[in-house]
Structure formats: structure tokens, C-alpha cells
Chains A and B, each alone.
Chain A
Amino acid sequence: MRTKKVAVMGLAVTLAMILSFVESQVPAFVAVPGVKMGLANIAVVFVLYKLGWREAALISLLRVFLVSLLFGNFASLFYSLAGAVLSLAGMIALKKTGLFSEIAVSVSGGVLHNVGQIAMACLLLQTDVLRYYLPFLVLSGILAGIVIGLLAGVLIKRIRLEA
């Protein structure tokens, strides 16, 4: 299982990076910055359910560092990191309660990711006028989280790692 786990995690982080890259190529389509699908979270939610929270955290943080290094800049690392850390904390906590499905877990991740990014932007730009975007970003996090949760749910059910 150990070798297999290493292979699965390698695939997951690769997939998360590819999905991030694909998403970065799609132009922003709304007047609110930060609205996006968060496709890479499919890989993170999958790993969270299949391998555990430590592995999911590792995948998510590795993705953030690698993607910022390859396609982003120093500032984008801060925004991604704030979103990823808050999102991971929420998803791990919600999954631990055992009360919710992967849809709610993914929704909490989507919303907290956006909240983390706005908080980081307020910090870096030293202003709170950005709170104007907060309701739109919470809403977009909910919608994106539902879609990502449904997709991850299918993968969690269909792909068996034990065999």
C-alpha cells in the first residue's frame, strides 16, 4: 500500500496542478475578481476521503507552491496560501464531524477559500473596502463547491484504491 500511496499522491498533485493551469487559461468572466471553479479542489477532496487529512493538506499546499512557482508570482502565492489554509481547515473539520457529505465539505472549502483570499487582499492592500466583494464570493464559493463536491463524490465512489 505504501508504494501505491506514493503513486496516488503523485498523480493527485499532478492532476491538481493541471486543473489549476487549465483554469488559469479561462478568462475571468465576471466583474468580481476571484470568482472561479476551483477545479483543483476535486483532487484535494478526493484525497481527503481516500487517504486522509494529512495527505489532502500535503496535496493542497504542494499544489499552491508549485503552481505559484510555475505560473504565478510572489503575490499570488500569498493569496493562494491564505485561501488553501483556511479552506483545508474548514474541510478537514467538517469531514471530522461525520455529519455531512463531500458536497457540504467541498462547499465549506470553496467559501473559506474565497474568504481567505479576500482577507489576504484586505491585509496586503491595507483597506477594508474590499468587503464589498464578500457576499458575491461567498455565493460563488457555494455554487462552485456544490459542483466540485458532486464531481469529487462520483470519483470517490467509482475509483477504488484498495484493489
Chain B
Amino acid sequence: MKKNTILRDAALILVLLLVAGTLYFAFSANKEEGACAVVLKEGEEIGRYPLNKDGVFSLNGGSNTLVIENGYAWLSEASCPDKICVHMGKIHLNGQLIVCLPNALIVTVEGGDDGGVDIFS
């Protein structure tokens, strides 16, 4: 009986691992180089910055600062106390995210219309 329990546990964990793998290939495995950093505030797009133009941008009335350099985008400053978004690192692949929950701000990377991703795909 004890042995059966362990087998069932293992089966459940295996199924969940397969779910994680499937979700990964469905949502996260995009390795395409992005063209634009897109800033979303509560689901609305409030800004779009090409990754091939370096610059420093103030977002959302100054609550966060977006830096674009050498094809990478990251947040260098945030008004919130925990600064999680600042520590989330640099993004450059399609679908990658930086999230600032306190300011309800999301920065993501897209192929973009002016990035010419359609030329390659």
C-alpha cells in the first residue's frame, strides 16, 4: 500500500512536469530576438521603444526609468520600496517580461511592426 502511494505520487509529479514542459514550449520558449520594448500599464500600451536605439526613458509619470542599450532593455529605477523590477535583469527576447507590481507596469519585448521580424519568419 505504501509502495502504491509512492508510485501514485511519482505519477502525479511526472504529469505536472509534463504540464510545465508543455506550457514552456507554448508560452516561454520563444528564442527570437525582439525588436521593441513595449510598456503596458493595466493592460494598455503606453509606450513602444525600438531596441536598436539606445536611450533612457521616464515611464508612467516618472515612476520607473527604462534604459535601452545594445539591444537590451531594463528598468534602472523604480519608485517602489522593494525594487524587484530593477533586479529582474535585462530582456531582449520576444515575450520576456519585467514586471513592477506596485506600479502595475509591465515591460515586454515584441517583434514589433518596424522591427522587420516578418522578413525572417
Contacts and interface: CB of A to CB of B under 8 A. Distances in A.
A101 B97 contact: no
Name A's interface SS: helix
B101 A75 contact: yes
B16 interface: yes
A133 B21 CA distance: 12
B97 A133 contact: yes
Interface residues of A, number: 29
B106 A127 contact: yes
Interface residues of B, number: 32
A92 interface: no
Contacts of B64: none
Interface in A103-157: 103-104, 107-108, 111, 121, 124-127, 129-136, 138-139, 142, 146
Nearest to B16: A142
Nearest to A131: B27
Interface of A: 28, 31, 33, 75, 99-101, 103-104, 107-108, 111, 121, 124-127, 129-136, 138-139, 142, 146
